[in-house]
Structures are given as C-alpha cells and as structure tokens.
Amino acid sequence: MRTVSFTLAFVLLLTATAAHAARPFVTDDARIVDPGGCQIETFARVQQRDNENELWFLPGCTPAKGLNSTEFTLGGNKVDNAGTGTANTLIAQVKTLLRPLQTDGWGFAATVGALRQHPANADASWSPYINLVSSRSLLSDAVVIHANVGQLRDRTILRNRYTWGLGAEIALGAKLYGIAESYNQAAEKPSSQVGLRYWITPNRVQIDSTVGTQAAPGGRRTWTSIGMRFLF
C-alpha cells in the first residue's frame, strides 16, 4: 500500500501535464503543452528510509487542431523496494484547460484519468480519479500559486481517497526557478518538498531536483529526486 500512496501523491500533479509548472511539482497547474506540441518527463526518486527507488517516464501531447485545449498523457513508473519487491503503475490521463493562465490573472483546469496499479505480490487494478486545478499569477509571473482538490477511487482497497495540493513556483533568475509545496490524500500524513528547476534551453530542455519529507509510522520518510524534461 505504500507504493500506491506515493503513486497517488504524484498524480495530484501528474508532472507530464503542465507546460511550465510540471516537474518537479506534484501539485498540478492550469497550463498544458502548446497546441501541436509534446513533452517527455523522466525522473528518478530515492526513498532513503525505505530503501526504495522509483523511475518515472511520462510523455504527453496536445493536438494541433480540434482538441487543442486538451492534453493527453500516457506513461507510468516502476518502484523497487528492498522489503516488498517491485511494483509498477500505468497512468492514462486527459487534462482540459478551462481558463488559460495569464500574467497576474487566474487559470483553471480539470483532469480525469486512471491508474493501473500493480503492487508487488498483488493483482493489478484500474483506479479512476478526477482533479480540479487553479493557478494564480502574481508580480508579473515572478510568483505563481497552484491549488488542487481531487478524488481517487482506489480499487486496491475499495475506498475513495480525497486529495489536495498547494504549491508555489518562484522565479530566481532568467532560467532558474524554486518550488515549494505540500500535498496529501485521505488516510495519509501530508508530504512537503522543495526543489529547483533550471532551463538548459528555455522552454525546450529542463533539469530539476527536489528534497521532500513525510511523517509516517516508524519514523519520518525522506526522499530526493532528479529529473529532465523535454518539450518539442
């Protein structure tokens, strides 16, 4: 169940779904990839206390015509845990932009999707989810705040899990951004993380990293992540 919990926490953002907030956020934002464009996000995360390693690969695209306010994502992850073995999750999502985020304004979006969760030593199952997203630009985009509320129907335990996320991205330079956020789901303690994003090539190639923490039975969990993002 630990693997399922971390999977949902990530889906609150589902990092392949945003044109600029994206990695390394978990909290989603009211942006999508430009019409006719695609992106690939990949990253690794290490859970120190649990001796657990995650590898993520998340491509997403927005059609050039017709559904050009909708982004489609299909990807997943693999989790190796020294104690429980290997688990994986397939993610399929559609994100619709309801109001584009503009400088010093508000933006709104909604996502629907499903996770095919396959915990170690258990059968796979599909769990649908929905997430509502709002973003607020401040100080000519120097600070952007994101807030999410959502729900997952977790079919691995046959219960609904309500979720929330709150994050901020802060411009630290022409190519460097800082992020800070907290997020949670029902029956879990809130998680928090901070990180940096750097554009090697603006709006084309990005590298990023985070450190995070979550209170949990048996002691606090901590993690680090490093990733890359490509837009084309």
DSSP character string of 135-178: EEEETTTTEEEEEEEEEEEETTTTEEEEEEEEEEEEE-SSSEEE
Collect the ranges in the chain with pLDDT lower than 70: 1-21
So what's the pLDDT on residue 232?
Answer: 96
Q: Which residues contact 207 (CB under 8 A, 6 or more apart)?
A: 197, 198, 200, 226, 227, 228, 229
CATH number of 2-226: 2.40.160.40
Contact predicate 179/196, CB 8 Å:
yes
Q: How far apart are CA 115 and CA 131, in angstroms?
A: 13
pLDDT the model gives residue 1: 43
38 CB neighbour count, 10 Å cutoff:
16
pLDDT at residue number 21: 54
Give the pairing of strands 106-118 and 221-231: unpaired
Handedness of CA 207, 37, 171, 200 (dihedral sign): positive
pLDDT single digits (tens) 21-30: 588 999 999 9
Provide the whole-model pTM: 0.86
pLDDT computed for residue 114 by the predictor: 95
Residue whose C-alpha is closest to residue 205's, from 40, 37, 74: 40
pLDDT, tens digit, for every residue of 105-159?
999 999 999 999 887 777 778 999 999 999 999 999 999 999 999 999 988 788 8
CA distances from 214 to 74, 108, 191, 198 (A): 27, 28, 5, 25
